Amino acid sequence: MVDHEILLEVKDLHVSYGAIKAIKGISLYVKRGEVVTILGANGAGKTTTLRTISGLLKSTDGHIYFDKEDITTVPAHDIVGRGMSHSPEGRKVFGTLSVEENLHMGAYTLKTHDEETLGWIYKILPRLEERKKQLAGTLSGGEQQMLAIGRAIMSKPKLLILDEPSLGLAPVLVKGIFKAIKEISSTGVTVLIVEQNAKAALKLADRGYVLELGKITHEGTSEELLNSTVIQEAYLGKKKK
């Protein structure tokens, strides 16, 4: 029933906050090894979609399949162990835990202490190693974002979900963050990323979806989306000639 190439498939998903319908029947898929981005304005439902996929929110209708299994009703903490990791919007690092403790929490589902992954994270995000004994709340915004990503890959996920990794960061930091994401994806980790910075996201991604008011309005390869005039006007800030 499910294509073995497909790691994540969302079918006709509906999500409501009380009487307000936030997601009105979206379908999308992510293949193994791909980087897929979801674009859209504020309030389009991007974060809601991600939170539903990772189990923090319950859908009112529709199905979510991950790694050939239906995870629609599986609680969030069980989904992590199946190989999905979600770095949430606003970073949400544990402020009064040290950087190292935050990373260890990322590996909570693993039985053994994983020094190898920790070493690799310190290699691609060296700032974290310098500050490993510091409380996460004392880090700068950029460093907290690095920590949030590092923490998310500590569980060695098959799918890494990133929600607005560049939000509120200086351009020079954004570059570093995207470089790290590229590095992570090059090791075979599948990435689903939501970004305000549509250009950077499409450069990184293989494919993309455009979400508007809870519905998917466009989808295609990154090149198709980058060259589409509608997308250019709405999300890439280019004016009609």
Partner 1 sequence: MDIFLQQIVNGLTIGSLYALVALGYTMVYGVMKLINFAHGDLVALSAFAGLTIYTSIFADGGTSIIAVITVFMFTAAIIAVVGVLLERLAYRPLRTAPRLSAVVSALGAGLVIQNSIMLIWGPNMKIFPSDLFPSTIYDINGVVITFTQLMILIFSSVLMIALYLFINKTKIGTAIRAVAIDQDAAKLMGINVNKIIMIIFIIGSALGAVAGLFIGIYYRGITFDMGWMYGLNAFVAAIIGGIGNIPGAMFGGLMLGLFNALISGYISSAWAETFTFMLLIVVLIFRPTGILGEKVAEKV
Which residues contribute to the site for partner 1 (CB under 8 A)?
54-56, 75-78, 80-81, 85-88, 90, 92-97, 101, 104-106, 108-109, 135, 137-139, 141, 144, 151-152, 155
Q: How far is the CB of 139 from partner 1 (least distance, A)?
A: 8
Q: Are 203 and 31 in contact (CB under 8 A)?
A: no
Torsions phi, psi for 175 (to 5 deg):
-60, -45
Q: How far is the CB of 192 from partner 1 (least distance, A)?
A: 14
CA distances from 46 to 32, 103, 155 (A): 21, 26, 24
Residue (51 or 207) nearer to partner 1, CB: 51
**How far apart (Å, rounded) are the C-alpha atoms in residues 32 and 87?**
19
Burial classification of residue 184, based on how many CB atoms lie within 10 Å of its CB (0-12 exposed, 13-18 middle, 19 or more buried):
buried
Residue (58 or 238) nearer to partner 1, CB: 58
Q: How far is the CB of 163 from partner 1 (least distance, A)?
A: 10
Q: How far is the CB of 234 from partner 1 (least distance, A)?
A: 28
Residue (50 or 125) nearer to partner 1, CB: 50
Residue (109 or 217) nearer to partner 1, CB: 109
Q: Which of 152, 103, 153, 109 is nearest to 129 (CA)?
A: 103
